[in-house]
A and B are shown apart, each in its own frame.
Chain A
Amino acid sequence: MKIVIIGNSVAAINAIEAIREKDKVSEIEVISDESYMAYSHPLLPNLVIGNISRSDKRFYYRSKDFYDKMNVKRVLGKKVVKIFSKNKYIALENNEKIEYDKLLITCGGTPFVPPMKGADLKEGVHTLTNIKAADKLKKDLPNIKKCVVIGGGLIGSKVAEKLAKYGIKVTLVELMKRVLFPVLDDTAADYVHKELKKDKVKLILEDSVVEIRGDKRPTEVVLSSGKTIDTDGVVVAVGVRPNLDFTKDSDIETNRGIVVDDYMQTNINNIYAAGDVAEAYDVIISAKRPVPVLPLAARQGRIAGLNIAESNIKYNGGFPMNSMSIGKVEFISMGIVDSEELEILKIEKDNEYRKFLIDNNRLVGMILVGNVERAGIFNWMIQNKFDVSWIKDTFLNSDFGWKYFDKAFRVLRLNRKIK
């Protein structure tokens, strides 16, 4: 059997490991338009300012000998242009054909650049979702004294913080009323706002960039409010969207992402998808949607790999989850973080913030700022729709732990007798 994987990041690597657990003989071929070993995307802002180098093994997701050990053929620096599912082959940019018996699509997301005049300037306008973009921005740093970062999401906030630490005068423009809008609520985002201000990042909220002005490179940006900001560089970090470039004209079903069933298979037999490109089941909203977070990419990749290797393992669904630090503030959040209808428990004390959102005695979301160490227990409760009616009163205790659980349950759970 020949297994072809499009993409070479978290989902692909976990799929390879899963396939090789079950199947040592099938051919595996990985195709990627990037020419690098799988690397850690969250570290790209660090790479830009020289916090980490390309020779640091921390930057890479697996060791150098991974592909050889797994007996995987790599076709790197080549773009896939089309999938021919009836004849089971894919076409590359250079018209090369690659045949497959089973295909896994893990091509991730592409940065979304909102329509604005001047976004096509040749120099000084950047995104930051891969090594190439990071190298380009890094090379351009000597030309940037002032920078506008568009979008206060996970990448935008992080890159604003890092560029400011590097000594650049940063202005962060965010459309919503707070940074990290779907990840944090007002109270938690305020901690981040304060940290960014400490680093002298200028925050402009509820506004957006409509035009980037300049001849060769940016000289100023114009906001929808009419304000202008002088700048020598722009980083667009509005978000990423599933990369559907080559599935558009195929018979693979797509919505916002590539739609997959509970086994990570698409509507076409023997074609699977996983990671940021996939639209899989979300347990909180009880529907399919793309949730582009690393732990889910890993899990989906693993499940796709196991099923490609003739297992029959179900994906139980996931939900958004993020762990991040900006300046000295660390936070972890999951699921729904803001609501008018849900039961909410929250407490803010001594630079710690805890918030829990509960729907019908099931935990559906939470935020921890500061004291994040027990976050995973809440992750487990959300995933398993655990009945929290008898324990939710203890969630706000900063020493929350297993000691508050019912004894019989705790004894079985801690000794791995209950999943």
Chain B
Amino acid sequence: MKAKILNPKSILLLILFVILAAVTLTPFLSIFLASLRPGREIMRQGISLNIDLSIMSFDNYAYLFSGETMYFTWFKNSVLITSVQSVLTLIVSAFVGYGFAMYEFKFKNLLFMCVLFIMMIPMEIIMLPLYQLIINLKLIDSIWGIILPFVASPLPIFFFRQYLSGIPKDFLDAARVDGCSEYGIFARIIAPLMKPAFASMGIFVGMNSWNNFLWPLIVLNSNDKLTLTIGLNTLISPYRNNYDVLIAGAVFSVIPIIILFLFFQKYFIAGMTAGGIKG
């Protein structure tokens, strides 16, 4: 290591990357510092890197945890929706991905093309009729309205199919000879093999669900059912000072993800870059 650092080119590179890393982290630092200042100050001055210990305190966080705000109701809702959506989406998408990876059947290529196409269509395009459909199905203002339309999710299907296509099909025939049903093979033999793939996609689906904004904003309307992102958004108002809860709440919503990331980096990275994997 020491020999490397002495190299002038290494030092130049290191300086460049330290500057870039500092720029990347500045928004985090500034919003964290802002969360320690009274909301009135933020309204008047915006956020900055100034540290003024005389006005800084953890009061905003104390207020957040005091139970006087809706914050923890939203936090619980987000945890619930993220958990249910991740588990359901993983199971359903693994099921579908397995079907595409392991069998030959009529219209397989056409159907797989459909998976690729919906992956590339922005959901906002069909938002209006989808909303009307959710009303007709009586799923409005319910977590099922958020989850069901996206339960067979194209990227996880694609990822699981790629992951499974490496498994030799003779493997399945051996199990069939032993009297295992098609679904038994999936549940007892294949699913346990997919643990790393589940971890990557679990993080991908979970993070998208935790951060999801537009569709839950449309589906949910009672204040006690809102998720964190939508709840925080309701606090953004030019006419009232909600900055105490807003900024501390925003920081606190990011912290769990960053902690998870530091522990499970490998899976985060595999999940986030899954689309780029070519089979």
Say whether A and B bind each other: no
> Residues of A with Cβ closer than 8 Å to B?
none
